[in-house]
């Protein structure tokens, strides 16, 4: 008797995360080192998730228990699915939109911009990578190379340039998400089901942050890590961190 679909989905998802940890270990460590180097100089780290579900990645590492406090995430109502899925898709396909978001901050050469987008081809994603290049930033892409390479030229989702995120960033962390996101084939169902992009994006992002935290600790630098406010002593533990960053991170 075959295992239930949820169990097979768990196996497939865990398998992808295991591949990501093993095959992308060097890239994750390189990205973590870039983040640590910037934090060591008391700089902020910038994260954008240019798309409806990809924005969940930017939210995952912002004001997150167990995560770094020096994160500026561009969490935007335009990408937010709550205002309409079709609206979100149209906005992520609009050239120039991400540039307007990123222009809200003044950067220094060498600042780190993490671009998390599962598909890696829409206008907002490619504009973010081009923007980082133009401003002398170190760019990290958390994305699926298989999806970019598998999507034909001229697809309506693509940036007008036709470029792929993985070709534009300084560091690529390939999430191994298959073309189309969904993992499971079910008899009698014409489409695959069981998306995996949010899981692999979250793992990759948290893995990068953990490597950065570990590297800072090796240097004798106390990393600014949030404690959950819903845990004993959480509010008290976070006072110093909030005081340090509340005037520097506007949506903190």
Domain of 235, CATH number, reads 3.40.50.10490
| Any domain includes 157 | yes
| Any domain includes 6 | no
Q: What is the average per-residue pLDDT within 198-205? A: 98
| Any domain includes 140 | yes
What is the C-alpha separation between 129 and 168, in angstroms, rounded? 6
How does residue 234 score in pLDDT terms, banded at 50, 70 and 90? confident
| Element (DSSP H or E) covering residue 217 | helix 197-218
**Is 1 a residue whose pLDDT tops 90?**
no
| Any domain includes 86 | yes
Measure the CA dihedral 240/245/247/252, to 10°: -100
Residue 203 near residue 184 (C-beta atoms within 8 A)? no
pTM to 2 decimals?
0.95
| Any domain includes 212 | yes
Tokens of 52: 């409806």
Domain that holds residue 108: 23-245
How does residue 250 score in pLDDT terms, banded at 50, 70 and 90? confident
Q: Which residue has the tokens 């973590």?
A: 32
The burial class, CB within 10 Å (0-12 / 13-18 / 19+), for 141 is: buried
Q: What is the average per-residue pLDDT within 188-196? A: 97
Q: Which residues of 180-195 are buried (b: 16+ CB within 10 A; e: fewer)?
A: bbbbbeeeeeeeeebb
Q: Residues 19-78: pLDDT tens digits? A: 999 999 999 999 999 999 999 999 999 999 999 999 999 999 999 999 999 999 999 999
| Any domain includes 14 | no
Measure the CA dihedral 115/119/122/128, to 10°: 10
User: Which residues, 6+ apart, have CB-to-CB distance to 57 below 8 Å?
Assistant: 47, 49, 116, 142, 198, 201, 202, 205
Res 109: pLDDT = 93
Q: What is the average per-residue pLDDT within 224-251? A: 92
What is the C-alpha separation between 162 and 100, in angstroms, rounded? 21
| Any domain includes 144 | yes
Res 2: pLDDT = 83
| Any domain includes 9 | no
Q: How many domains does the chain have?
A: 1
How does residue 192 score in pLDDT terms, banded at 50, 70 and 90? very high
The burial class, CB within 10 Å (0-12 / 13-18 / 19+), for 7 is: exposed
Residue 118 near residue 143 (C-beta atoms within 8 A)? yes
């Amino acid at each position: 008797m075959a295992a239930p679909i949820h169990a097979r989905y768990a196996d497939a998802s865990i398998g992808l995360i295991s591949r990501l940890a093993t095959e992308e270990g060097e890239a994750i460590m390189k990205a973590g080192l870039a983040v640590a180097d910037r934090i060591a100089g008391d700089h902020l780290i910038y994260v954008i998730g240019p798309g409806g579900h990809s924005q969940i990645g930017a939210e995952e590492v912002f004001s997150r228990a167990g995560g770094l406090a020096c994160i500026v995430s561009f969490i935007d109502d335009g990408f937010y699915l709550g205002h309409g899925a079709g609206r979100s898709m149209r906005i992520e396909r609009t050239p120039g939109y991400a540039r307007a978001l990123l222009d809200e901050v003044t950067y220094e050469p060498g600042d780190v911009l993490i671009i998390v987008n599962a598909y890696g081809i829409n206008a907002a994603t490619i504009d973010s990578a081009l923007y980082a290049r133009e401003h002398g930033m170190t760019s990290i892409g958390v994305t699926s190379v298989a999806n970019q390479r598998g999507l034909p030229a001229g697809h309506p989702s693509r940036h007008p340039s036709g470029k792929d995120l993985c070709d534009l960033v300084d560091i690529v962390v390939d999430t191994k998400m298959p073309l189309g996101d969904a993992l499971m084939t079910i008899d009698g169902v014409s489409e695959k089901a069981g998306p995996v992009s949010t899981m692999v994006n979250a793992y990759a992002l948290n893995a990068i942050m953990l490597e950065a935290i570990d590297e800072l600790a090796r240097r004798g630098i106390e990393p600014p890590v949030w404690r959950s406010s819903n845990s004993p002593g959480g509010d008290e533990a976070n006072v110093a961190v909030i005081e340090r960053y509340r005037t520097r991170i506007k949506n903190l």
